[in-house]
Structure 1
Amino acid sequence: WLNASRIEEAINIYTQNSPAGICLGVATDQSPNSVQAAMAAVILNALMGNIERPGSLMQRFKVSGVIPGDAAVSTYIVPAARKMLPPEQLKKRLGGNEYKGLLFWWAGHPGSIKKAILTGKPYKPRVWIERSGNKFANVAESKSWAPAIKEMEFVVHMYMYPTSFSNYADMLLPASEWLETDMPVESCNKVFARQAVTHLWETMDETLFWSKLAKRCAELGHENCKKAFDPEIMGSDLPYWNNMNELLNRCTSTFDMTWDEFKEKAPFEFLPKDKWKQYYVYKQIDPKTGKPRGFDTPSKKIELYLESLITLGRTGMPYSTCELPPASKDYDPLPYYMEPSESPLEDSELAKKYPLVMTNGRLPFYHHSTLRNVPWLREMYPVPEIWIHPAAAKNYGISHGDWVWVESLRGKIKAKANVTKGINPRAVYMERFIFPENYHTETEGWREMNVNVLSKSTAPYNDVVGTYTLRGFLVRVSKANDGPPKGVWTKPEQFREWLPQPSDPTEVVK
């Protein structure tokens, strides 16, 4: 698959051109080897001395504090109020004890959640509040989630507009799009006041939805929700506000300014350049100890053998607020490679039936599962293409522009062939896709041409964070002689009805 001489060439480019750095993209996140890939990149950077030196990627430049952040979710503007979650509740988080790396984001494990919904073990979740768009476009093996969602007693969909997931919701909460809100922004020693675009329709920033929900729970007697609104108890971790201006004022208080004052002054540099861009932070003397500051590891050294990963698996520390039961096995303190569970290298019967490796990724037209309802974007890229090498296309009787069936062990979808030398002859590429024009049909707009109908949601999972197989699984292709899926728009004039109409700004919802 790979040319050994090209691998050696890449190694030489990295090692002989110091300072340098290895930067990972989304691809390595979307497999059971996700954490190990990141560990390997950091270790290589460390071995080459590419840590906090000029020109290296790994730096600890100072931040202003205008984006308060949170220990669990860095750069997230609303604190998590983690200390308000009782230890007994944290220990019940589905998949949380086994995949403790998820505590960094304060998240549960998708596979464990789905299993609990369908089996009732160790308990059955009953309420689902969804705030991440079209879930069926984003999760692996999308079809397997539909029965689980139908098991829920109450489903809320909080989003900018209806999606396929809205068909399953008991309640819709219209949220503002992120560019419809004012917000402080920080980049490279400068802070900016991002101005909201024109606000249309009756939507609200989701921060206020959560605040109103917590406040109502407090009114109904929930003790920890009561405490979450008490500044004396919460201090700087106060997570809830009555309006967005309170939140924005909290952000800009780091400069002793109100949001309105900040807007007048921004953009501005918050530190002299030599104070902001500080290299070799680990060599700086810590005034508390009189010793070099080092790194945030038990030894204060950069760890190639990650002792802290063993501690995480056994206790949940440093991310947990209490000691958790140990995972079923210790996390490996060194990176390792695990061949994908559906591999073409083993010459298995499966590889003979499904000989192509599917990869995927984002296109510049779209962002995650959004924007497929924008007429100009759909005019440029109306349907997902499957990239296939000319040699492979010839082998399967496929020409450029043909409609193609794509199958895995988990499902069958269509795509439009893009015959290109830009992909390995033994691999194919597709983009996840949904069709708002079909939300009202039995396909709900996500079953026709969505690569995540084909992806793999079952084990093996990454041992630390539980990631599964969103790319790197086996498929087969064949020519489809019956054209595009029913109801899917493919011609520019079909998108005319989505063109925006003149409208006045909507009054802000209080």
Structure 2
Amino acid sequence: FPEIDYVIGQYPMLTSFHIETADLVFPLREWLEEPMVNMTQLNTQWLQNECVHIGETVSHSIPAAQVVAKCSELMGGALPGLKPGYLGSSTEEEVKAAVAETLRAPSWDELVKDTDKYVPCITPADEYFNYHQHEMVVDDGLPAGFGTESRKIETYCQILLKLSRTGYPFCYPEPQEACADYSPICSYIEPAESPLADTEYPFVLTSGRVSYFHHGTMRHAPFSRELHPTAEIRINPVSAKELGIAHMDWVKISSRRGEVHARAYLTEGVNPKAVWMERFWNPECYDASQPNPTAGWRECNVNVLTKNDAPFNEVYGSYTNRGFTVKIEKSEKPAGVWVEPAEFTPFLPTADLLAEAQTKDVF
């Protein structure tokens, strides 16, 4: 990214990526602020109405569409390679009109006025479901069959092998030869970093998420952070006792790639030789009140520990996000990380933001 001339980011608040990389950031709505349609149970669609806006927020499609429209104007009315409408609606009114149309309402105002009449919008089964697609005759005069190269049910997924090894059909214009070392029969392979023989890093780490946040979002929400203020690593009490670690002590977790910090959460829900850690980042680390601001992702982020070099998974080509070895030792809280509820006061909305919430076009 440092080699890219100009980076534009879009998000409800500044993230570590924006702090380190972006030249320009557009403030967007969080997903709960966005009027949109959510589908459940296949053919049933619901309205996700707008909640209260705090600060300047717009639909995610608006800034990019307006930037491209302005560039197009300055470059003579056209941008090569961009199809009209590719970037979605360019105004708030068009977004709401599209939502109303999807829910079969005559207008957004009518939809909001009588939501129960249009929501949920249920597509009749005879319109939504399309059976016997495999019998449809295609351009070579044969039935379409299944979505495989042989058009039959395949236990050996040839197209998956091509995708994992070459990127086909998404990254290459021509089919590539499949590699020969993909076995359709599963067999156990000891991990490259195995807790069975690793005395320097004796714990195997697995990762997951907590219910207070969705991946990296909402780490700036003060009340969510009060419930779950910082990263935690779950350790078996037997292992913690051997290390001299008590419940909620700060610990340092180290792998062969780096080190991060978290609070120890003692539980018998993990094996004595395993630990569990949620991915976490700390936007408070670059708050204006910090004497030495950082980007906020090095302090408590489990991604610092992950193994992103060979060996890769031979079928999917993915690197090791979990199942690698770490060591744990008692430590201190990193500088700049907030834990107490009162510390999150800078994240609370100000009177000015609440009084003049902006939801209109940004240009």
Q: TM-score, normalised by structure 2?
A: 0.80
C-alpha spacing 1:465/1:215, structure 2 compared with 1 (3 Å): farther
C-alpha spacing 1:201/1:470, structure 2 compared with 1 (3 Å): same
Tell me the amino acid that sits aligned with residue 270 of structure 2: I
> 2:65 corresponds to which residue?
211
Whether the 8 Å contact between 2:103 and 2:118 is mirrored in structure 1 is: no
> 1:459 corresponds to which residue?
310
Amino-acid identity (%): 36
C-alpha spacing 1:223/1:163, structure 2 compared with 1 (3 Å): same
> 1:64 corresponds to which residue?
none
What secondary structure, in the 3-state scheme, does the structure 1 residue paired with 2:355 have?
coil
Tell me the amino acid that sits aligned with residue 91 of structure 2: N
> 1:17 corresponds to which residue?
none
CA distance in structure 1 between the partners assigned to 2:285 and 2:270 by the alignment:
31
CA distance in structure 1 between the partners assigned to 2:360 and 2:81 by the alignment:
27
> 2:262 corresponds to which residue?
415
Tell me the amino acid that sits aligned with residue 165 of structure 1: F
What secondary structure, in the 3-state scheme, does the structure 2 residue paired with 1:298 have?
coil
C-alpha spacing 1:476/1:315, structure 2 compared with 1 (3 Å): closer
Structure 1 residue 361 displacement after superposition: 0.8
CA distance in structure 2 between the partners assigned to 1:501 and 1:385 by the alignment:
30
Structure 1 residue 239 displacement after superposition: 4.0
Structure 1 residue 508 corresponds to structure 2 residue 359: yes
CA distance in structure 2 between the partners assigned to 1:442 and 1:241 by the alignment:
37
> 1:450 corresponds to which residue?
301
Deviations 1:130-172 (A, max 9, x none): xxxxxxxxxxxxxxxxxxx4x5543333221122333323222
What secondary structure, in the 3-state scheme, does the structure 2 residue paired with 1:157 have?
strand
Whether the 8 Å contact between 1:249 and 1:259 is mirrored in structure 2 is: yes
Structure 1 residue 418 displacement after superposition: 1.4
> 1:162 corresponds to which residue?
14
Number of residue equivalences: 347
Structure 1 residue 432 displacement after superposition: 1.9
Structure 1 residue 377 corresponds to structure 2 residue 228: no
Whether the 8 Å contact between 1:358 and 1:474 is mirrored in structure 2 is: yes
C-alpha spacing 1:227/1:319, structure 2 compared with 1 (3 Å): closer
> 1:490 corresponds to which residue?
339
Structure 1 residue 332 corresponds to structure 2 residue 182: yes
C-alpha spacing 1:327/1:493, structure 2 compared with 1 (3 Å): farther
CA distance in structure 1 between the partners assigned to 2:133 and 2:358 by the alignment:
54
C-alpha spacing 1:240/1:297, structure 2 compared with 1 (3 Å): same
What secondary structure, in the 3-state scheme, does the structure 2 residue paired with 1:200 have?
coil
Q: TM-score, normalised by structure 1?
A: 0.59
Deviations 1:410-439 (A, max 9, x none): 112222211211101111111222223221
Structure 1 residue 204 displacement after superposition: 2.3
Whether the 8 Å contact between 2:235 and 2:270 is mirrored in structure 1 is: yes
CA distance in structure 1 between the partners assigned to 2:102 and 2:142 by the alignment:
29
Structure 1 residue 275 displacement after superposition: 6.3
Deviations 1:214-233 (A, max 9, x none): 32343344997356454xxx
C-alpha spacing 1:211/1:317, structure 2 compared with 1 (3 Å): same
CA distance in structure 1 between the partners assigned to 2:296 and 2:166 by the alignment:
43
C-alpha spacing 1:240/1:378, structure 2 compared with 1 (3 Å): closer
CA distance in structure 2 between the partners assigned to 1:268 and 1:239 by the alignment:
27
Whether the 8 Å contact between 2:28 and 2:58 is mirrored in structure 1 is: yes
Deviations 1:339-373 (A, max 9, x none): 4322224x2xxx11001011111001122122222
Whether the 8 Å contact between 1:316 and 1:323 is mirrored in structure 2 is: no
C-alpha spacing 1:270/1:484, structure 2 compared with 1 (3 Å): same
> 2:27 corresponds to which residue?
174
> 1:387 corresponds to which residue?
234
> 1:404 corresponds to which residue?
251
Deviations 1:40-88 (A, max 9, x none): xxxxxxxxxxxxxxxxxxxxxxxxxxxxxxxxxxxxxxxxxxxxxxxxx
Structure 1 residue 315 displacement after superposition: 7.5
C-alpha spacing 1:251/1:496, structure 2 compared with 1 (3 Å): closer
Whether the 8 Å contact between 2:103 and 2:121 is mirrored in structure 1 is: no
CA distance in structure 2 between the partners assigned to 1:311 and 1:247 by the alignment:
39
Structure 1 residue 504 displacement after superposition: 2.6
In structure 1, the gaps of 5 or more residues are 1-127, 129-148, 231-236
CA distance in structure 1 between the partners assigned to 2:179 and 2:77 by the alignment:
36
C-alpha spacing 1:275/1:219, structure 2 compared with 1 (3 Å): closer
In structure 2, the gaps of 5 or more residues are none
CA distance in structure 2 between the partners assigned to 1:396 and 1:240 by the alignment:
55
C-alpha spacing 1:393/1:364, structure 2 compared with 1 (3 Å): same
C-alpha spacing 1:178/1:335, structure 2 compared with 1 (3 Å): farther
Tell me the amino acid that sits aligned with residue 340 of structure 1: P
CA distance in structure 2 between the partners assigned to 1:479 and 1:430 by the alignment:
16
> 1:323 corresponds to which residue?
173
C-alpha spacing 1:317/1:492, structure 2 compared with 1 (3 Å): closer
Structure 1 residue 175 displacement after superposition: 1.8
What root-mean-square deviation, in Å, do the aligned CA atoms of Structure 1 and Structure 2 show? 3.5
Deviations 1:278-300 (A, max 9, x none): 8xx45875487999874222333
Whether the 8 Å contact between 1:357 and 1:427 is mirrored in structure 2 is: yes
C-alpha spacing 1:463/1:224, structure 2 compared with 1 (3 Å): farther
Tell me the amino acid that sits aligned with residue 323 of structure 2: G
C-alpha spacing 1:256/1:197, structure 2 compared with 1 (3 Å): closer
What secondary structure, in the 3-state scheme, does the structure 1 residue paired with 2:219 have?
coil
Structure 1 residue 434 corresponds to structure 2 residue 281: yes
Q: In proportion to residue count, which structure has more helix?
A: 1
